[in-house]
Structure 1
Amino acid sequence: MKPGFHAVNRVMRTLLSILFRVDTSHLDRIPRQGPLVAIANHINSFEAPVMVCWLDNPAVTGIGKRELWKNPFIHFLFQLWEIIPIDRGMVDRDAFNLALAALKQGKVLSIAPEGTRSKTGQMQKGKPGVSLLAARSHAPILPLAYWGHEAVWSNLRHLRRTDFHIEVGQPFYLTAEGASLSREIREAVSDEMMYKIAELLPERYRGVYAFADRPVYRYLVPAQENAS
């Protein structure tokens, strides 16, 4: 843990609390230690600061697009939080290896499988990279869902705080083995992971992962079953 970690998080919580009423009722479901891959939908840039600052746990880290480091303040925060930079639009093997190393060190690694923010608040198609990371690391996967904070700028114009909802699901494992995952299977696994997130969201946010009947999971198994 880097010096100033908890102090900076306290200041950030104070500042973010001006904007948000954060629902913390389910945060105790997130383990304090990994290895764990936490997957979530991605509505805007506030998710990472809110999660890191409210959890205030040096074991929690994540992945962020490299362009964000150009902002000096974000650069400072991401270095403090040990966020892993990734080059989007290409296969970034360095980021992948750093993510694997973080999991081996017992980190809780937060990832947005969509890869980019949703302009509507609704879920977008997930990318298959996270399925390969889960397979290679053999780490359990924890689905999270965020919503409500898409209204932050509209509310701010009217001097209103915004409710920031966080739902935490049940952990699961990937049953397919990493080295043999074809792209077709990786995409199927990615979709199943996204459905796990969609199940936690109100229906209006599910987007391309809206469902009429409960999704069927071929490649994912609850952590309790895997342990037995």
Structure 2
Amino acid sequence: MISQFMMKLINVLPDSLIAYLSKKILRSYIDKYADINVQGMEKLSGISGPVLFVSNHLSNSDGLVLNKVLKDKDVIFVAGIKLGKNKLTKLGMHAVKNIPIKPNSADKEAISTVVKTLKSGKNILIFPEGTRSRTASMIEGKSGTYLIAKMAKVPIIPIGLWGTEKLLPISTKDMAMEKFQYAKVNVNIGNAISIPKINEGEDKKEYRKRAMDHIMISIAKLIPKNYRGEFEDKIK
């Protein structure tokens, strides 16, 4: 993997050069180890204006894979701020455009930045689960995604992803110890959706949960059953 010497060198270089090197290094790993199969790319051809992409989350390689697949869409990723504190994942933060967000909290500043970015005409990709699934099965989505979708009022494009959990397996000890492995990776792009309208008399908390389930189910439909987790039983 990346040598200690290279990591030390990167830590003292200017940000512009780090970004360039990070892109080159990580792109070479994706090209070498990931056999990527993409379905549904044609569904993006008729979409004009900004888009909110949403995907399930299996690995720290997810953003790198999707950045390559969606290279023509110039996507900005919403990424947990802790990724910038680890030497290895910090490379990934430099390799893709991103807006950092505090995980497991109502980061109003980050959410506001994401909404403004969408309204300015740029595309955003967010992993609604907020963290990588340790079992490769989908988990409950965070309501921040619903808030962004509600305020930005842009089309939501669901993406189903599997195989990245084998491409860069999660380390239970330290993210810096994670290593790329050869893997077949599948990316399945779905049709655009929007959040449902609130029903008359519906409790706001119940509606928020229903809206988030709608988003998560749209992702679950795009992946094999064994990856759907709790959303398998919610698919009609």
Q: Normalising by structure 1, what TM-score?
A: 0.78
Matches within 5 A, 1:121-160: 121-152=136-167
1:18 corresponds, among 32, 44, 47, to: 32
Task: In structure 2, list runs of 5 or more residues that go unmatched.
Answer: 1-14, 170-179
AA of the residue aligned to 2:38:
T
Structure 1 range deviating more: 6-15 or 203-212 = 6-15
Which residue identity lines up with residue 202 of structure 1 in the other structure? P
CA contact (8 A) 2:104 2:130 kept: no
The 3-state SS of whatever aligns with 1:52 is helix
Say if 1:6 and 1:56, in contact at 8 Å, map to a contact too.
Answer: no
Counterpart position of 1:114: 129
Aligned residue for 2:38, secondary structure, equals: coil
What's the CA shift string for 1:107-148, capped at 9, x where partnerless? 221111111111111111112221111111111101100012
1:27-74 per-position Cα deviation (integer Å, ceiling 9, x unaligned): 453468641111111111111011113432463011111011123564
1:193 aligns with 2:215: yes
Q: CA deviation at 1:212?
A: 7.3
Output the CA distance in 1 between the equivalents of 2:27 and 2:42. 17
Q: Which residue of 1 aligns with 2:188?
A: 167
Matched residue type, 1:102: T
Please give the alpha-carbon distance, in whole angstroms, between the structure 2 residues aligned to 1:212 and 1:136: 26
**Shift in alpha-carbon separation, 1:191–1:61, aligned structure 2, 3 A:** same
1:185 shift after superposition: 1.0
Q: Tell me the secondary structure at the aligned position of residue 63 of structure 1.
A: strand
Alignment RMSD (CA, Å): 3.0
Give the TM-score taking structure 2 as reference length. Answer: 0.76
Counterpart residue type for residue 55 of structure 1: L
Alpha-carbon spacing, 1:75–1:151, altered in 2? closer, same or farther (3 Å): closer
Query: Match of 1:218?
Result: none
Identical counterparts, % of pairs? 25
Structure 1: any 5+ residue segments left out of the alignment?
A: 215-228
Tell me, yes or no, if the aligned pair for 2:195 and 2:215 is still in contact at 8 Å: no
Given that residues 40 and 144 in structure 1 are in contact (C-alpha distance below 8 angstroms), is that contact kept between their aligned partners in structure 2? yes
Q: Could you say which residue in structure 2 is the equivalent of 1:59? A: 74
Alpha-carbon distance in structure 1 between the residues aligned to 2:164 and 2:89: 20
How many residue pairs get aligned? The number is: 207
Secondary structure of the 1:42 match is coil
Structure 1 residues 33 and 50: alpha-carbon distance in aligned structure 2, compared to 1, 3 A threshold: farther
Q: Which moved more, 1:79-88 or 1:200-209?
A: 79-88
Cα pair 1:12 1:53 within 8 Å, conserved: no
- CA shift in 2, pair 1:34/1:75, >3 Å: farther
Q: Flag the 1:64–1:174 CA change in 2: closer, same or farther, 3 A.
A: same
